[in-house]
Amino acid sequence: MSANPDSGQDTPQLSDQELKALVRERFTKTAEVFGNYAVANRVTEAETLARMVSANANDRAVDLACGPGTLALRFAKHVRWICGLDFTPAILERARHTAAHEGLLDKLTFAIGDAQALPFADNSLDLAVTSYSLHHISDPARVISEMSRVVKKGGRVGIIDIEAPEDPKIRELNHRIEVIRDRSHSRSLTHAEFESMFAAAGLRIFELEHKGHPRTFEHWMYVAGWKPSDREYQEAHALMADSIETNSANFSPRFEPADVCQPGKAPDLYMFNPGIYIAAEKI
Ligand SMILES: C[S@@+](CC[C@H](N)C(=O)[O-])C[C@H]1O[C@@H](n2cnc3c(N)ncnc32)[C@H](O)[C@@H]1O
């Protein structure tokens, strides 16, 4: 392990290999529960990104770190051909199963691979997309530069990810809660960091949207594999609840009375995950 000098956080940073092992463990353990959630609930997000990058019938594309096929399954309906690439076999198998069930395997193929070293030739694709992956990767700038490398000049790159707050103190608590929830969380990027990584990769951003989603804390923890009786659940819950007054972790949490049909149940904790959508062109 080594220090994490550029995150503004005092948590230790894992080596690339350590992080990859944790990511595989997390997404093997939650392949079903996370996969069911992402494929069912991120349809509008995938369609929004497809519109932003003008996905069309001429495109040959890659969805990297595709997980259960969240983007790839939707993009397959728009493009000529798409490859879903991920390095966690269990979640890729789930993606393949859904694609077969939906009759998409003539256009959608899957490959095991590392998003930091894409197995495609320079300038060979029209479109490269990824969602909710960069915060799990030790070198997100390299991933963005790989996306740029594999698309042709004029080709498009699209990403969706969670967005880190600019304020370093708020970012630190946000990061602490994220890591308690998920040890395979590397770090979220700020708007400014996304912009500079895109520019450094020779990508011109032509559309950018801030779009988060509200959810319950319980569900957020559930898709990461935790139950209310788990220590990690309780630790993250306490920090989240403490952050309500000044929104000091940028999750905009609030309590709401539980369902009237469940008298005596503790109030539900609601939260908001800020997100960023970026569409860019290779110049
Ligand atoms: C939070 S999931 C997102 C999955 C999907 N894109 C979605 O939006 O639902 C993160 C995914 O990134 C994959 N991943 C993380 N680091 C990777 C890397 N270096 N190369 C390939 N896949 C990676 C994980 O295996 C996991 O499936």
Mutation probe of ligand 1 site: the residue of 87, 110, 130, 145 with most atoms within 8 A of C-beta: 87
Residue 8: the pLDDT is 46
Q: Could you give the angle at the alpha carbon of 181 between the alpha carbons of 175 and 183, nearest 5°?
A: 75
Domain ranges of the chain: 16-167+183-215+274-282
**Atom of ligand 1 at shortest range from CA of 115:** 20
As a whole number, mean pLDDT of residues 253-262 equals 82
Residue 10: the pLDDT is 52
Residue 11: the pLDDT is 57
With both helix axes pointing from N to C terminus, report the angle between 31-41 and 89-101 in degrees, rounded to the nearest 10: 50
Residue 169: the pLDDT is 98
Ligand 1 centre to CA of 66 (Å) is 6
Residue ranges around ligand 1 (CB below 6 Å): 23, 27, 38, 42, 65-67, 70, 86-88, 91, 114-116, 131-133, 136-137
Instruction: Give alpha helix (H) positions in 70-190.
Output: 72-75, 89-101, 140-150, 168-181
Give CA–CA dist 76/191, Å, rounded. 29
Helix H or strand E segment including 33: helix 31-41
Give CA–CA dist 271/247, Å, rounded. 10
Give CA–CA dist 111/119, Å, rounded. 9
Name beta bridge partners: 213. 273
Helix (H, G, I), strand (E, B) or coil at 255: strand
With both helix axes pointing from N to C terminus, report the angle between 31-41 and 16-29 in degrees, rounded to the nearest 10: 80
Residue 6: the pLDDT is 44
Tell me the HSE value of 205 on the side-chain side, using a 13 A CA sphere. Answer: 17
This prediction's pTM: 0.95
CB neighbours of 35 closer than 8 A, spacing ≥ 6?
67, 68, 91, 94, 95, 98
Q: What is the pLDDT of residues 82-127, one digit of tens each?
A: 999 999 999 999 999 999 999 999 999 999 999 999 999 999 999 9
Give CA–CA dist 275/166, Å, rounded. 13
Residue 4: the pLDDT is 44
Mutation probe of ligand 1 site: the residue of 23, 162, 178 with most atoms within 8 A of C-beta: 23
Least confident of 44-58, 92-106, 260-274: 260-274
13 CA to centre of own chain: 19
Please give the DSSP secondary-structure letter assigned to residue 265: P
**Atom of ligand 1 at shortest range from CA of 116:** 19
Q: Could you give the angle at the alpha carbon of 162 between the alpha carbons of 247 and 90, nearest 5°?
A: 130
The more confidently predicted of residues 2 and 60 is 60
- Domain 16-167+183-215+274-282, second-level architecture: 3-Layer(aba) Sandwich (3.40)
CB neighbours of 135 closer than 8 A, spacing ≥ 6?
161, 162, 178, 185, 186, 187, 188, 189
The more confidently predicted of residues 8 and 242 is 242
Ligand 1 atom 16: residue of nearest CA: 137
- Per-residue pLDDT band for 12 (boundaries 50, 70, 90) equals low
- Per-residue pLDDT band for 257 (boundaries 50, 70, 90) equals confident
Based on C-alpha coordinates, what's the Rg of the chain?
19
Q: What is the pLDDT of residues 132-171, one digit of tens each?
A: 999 999 999 999 999 999 999 999 999 999 999 999 999 9
**Spatial CA neighbour of 133 closest among 123, 147, 122:** 147
The more confidently predicted of residues 41 and 264 is 41
